[in-house]
Structure 1
């Protein structure tokens, strides 16, 4: 099987490695190198790193829809499959029609629910108990193509977006291989997406990450989980749930909703201990377990309280 792989972030890496292991990857397409971080140092995408490691030809169009050299190159390769995982650009119809079996996209949700660019975060923010991965035959819509296969994943009450991200990127790689094998043998059939049950997720923003203590402890904890990379540190593009303590912004990476009532006003710091910082909400109490002050690093509360003080009775806003 001749494969062209299109992707960009760390999430795509296990899928590319699986394609290299099982098939003949003839080309990699990824986003152009970008300046980032302190000093605007030029960085390459994780997918480019893998392509270079395996000496696979790499193409980095600024706008793939208008890059006719790339389109002609793909036609020369005559791929059996074009595989797309978290690329970051919309593919034109000319590319969708090039490969023998079509363009297959891996999406990190159980389609048709949670179409869009940040499904991993939103399933947690919305308190879902289950999610998964889907493979689809791409069309000109956004995550609207016919479904090929799905793989389900249970969501625990304590799971963070970072944990779910790492589960889905590995499961997704396996699902892609199963999909390709099934399409070639005829054991996988296309199923139209049900538009009635479809939904799109909004983009993540810094504004949505501000904690509203007038919400319930369950909803606040879901927001924290949905925006937290904890215990991983390779997803810094996500906004982190945060609140204001005096003049400082405190980022919260891990917490737990307590089914306990209180007469204290929302945002009131009830207690601080090595087990957590308990804060009143409009419904229930939130126990903060991992947090970060400006200029510091995320710390579990026991380590945090050794060098910092959170005063009881303060109202977080």
Structure 2
């Protein structure tokens, strides 16, 4: 079996390794150049390709359509997408002789679109997962090939949950590869009416609003905790990144639960929220640090 792989991030590295272990011939990898303005804390697909003498390219989104003649000539059995950030044109998907498959970081049809792990935490979900599905022109809309759920703990950050999702993605690939190697693609309907699509997030979306409930603020902090851009507030004319919070208490009796915002009591920092509940800020730092 031969494949062309579009890949980036830890999921891209680990799933590509799984394909190589299974003996799939990788004719080409399409990945991204690292953004100098982004905190790159994850594994490098380009480095893995260099180590394994796999040809790779880093085209811009506008250059993808120009790859069609090359991919038609390669005629791969499969096209895989593992956390590749650009929409892949339908003309490219059609170059796969058997199927074009994408790994998505949620339990489809839930949390289609961008930043699925972050959105799931932001909405207080207790589980998410990894789903391998058929790629169509519409994002995350094709039939489901296989998926695996993982839990989301009440205090886990996006980075911690993403590690679980990355492991689940590898397990999904491992489980389904025997069928794929025989040209069989399991599939079940992806009922889009049972889920929602979410767009990308920007650093400005991390602003804390104290009129929200304590749990909503806590979930925001977890969803964007560093190495993501972080939840932030302005305190004493300084922008602060709130990196870790707790809802557990016990909380001091001295707290004024009717006054929203930051309160410092006994050298501990608390945020008073719109439901007149407190959360403790366990870690914060100036944004310029």
Given the two structures, how large is their TM-score scaled by the length of structure 2? 0.88
CA distance in 2, matches of 1:174, 1:64: 32
CA distance in 2, matches of 1:154, 1:225: 15
Matched ranges for 1:9-28 at <5 A: 9-22=9-22, 23-28=24-29
Partner of residue 243 from structure 2, selected from 239, 250, 253: 253
Indicate conservation of the 8 Å contact 1:272/1:278, yes or no.
no
For residues 247-285 of structure 1, the C-alpha deviation after alignment (integer angstroms, 9 at most, x for no partner) is 111101111124769534010414254xx5222222211
Indicate conservation of the 8 Å contact 2:214/2:247, yes or no.
yes
Matched ranges for 1:55-134 at <5 A: 55-62=53-60, 63-67=62-66, 70-134=67-131
CA distance in 2, matches of 1:206, 1:61: 25
The answer to whether the aligner puts 1:267 opposite 2:261 as a matched pair is yes
Question: 1:28/1:188 Cα in 2 relative to 1: closer, same or farther (>3 Å)?
Answer: closer
The answer to whether the aligner puts 1:145 opposite 2:137 as a matched pair is no
CA distance in 2, matches of 1:219, 1:188: 40
> Hey, what does 2:231 align to over in structure 1?
241
Shift of residue 228 of structure 1?
1.1
Indicate conservation of the 8 Å contact 1:133/1:172, yes or no.
yes
Higher mean C-alpha deviation, range 242-251 or range 262-271 = 262-271
> Hey, what does 2:283 align to over in structure 1?
290
Shift of residue 185 of structure 1?
4.6
Indicate conservation of the 8 Å contact 2:134/2:142, yes or no.
yes
Shift of residue 217 of structure 1?
0.9
> Hey, what does 1:206 align to over in structure 2?
203
> Hey, what does 1:280 align to over in structure 2?
272
Question: 1:48/1:71 Cα in 2 relative to 1: closer, same or farther (>3 Å)?
Answer: same
Shift of residue 101 of structure 1?
2.0
Shift of residue 80 of structure 1?
1.9
Shift of residue 198 of structure 1?
2.2
For residues 183-220 of structure 1, the C-alpha deviation after alignment (integer angstroms, 9 at most, x for no partner) is 44577531121121120113212332110111111110
Q: Secondary structure at the match of 2:198?
A: coil
> Hey, what does 1:29 align to over in structure 2?
30
Question: 1:228/1:272 Cα in 2 relative to 1: closer, same or farther (>3 Å)?
Answer: farther
Partner of residue 44 from structure 2, selected from 46, 59, 66: 46
Aligned Cα root-mean-square deviation (Å):
2.2
Q: Aligned residues, how many?
A: 278
Shift of residue 64 of structure 1?
4.2
Partner of residue 170 from structure 2, selected from 154, 169, 173: 173
> Hey, what does 1:307 align to over in structure 2?
none
Indicate conservation of the 8 Å contact 2:98/2:183, yes or no.
no
CA distance in 2, matches of 1:136, 1:195: 13
Indicate conservation of the 8 Å contact 1:159/1:225, yes or no.
yes
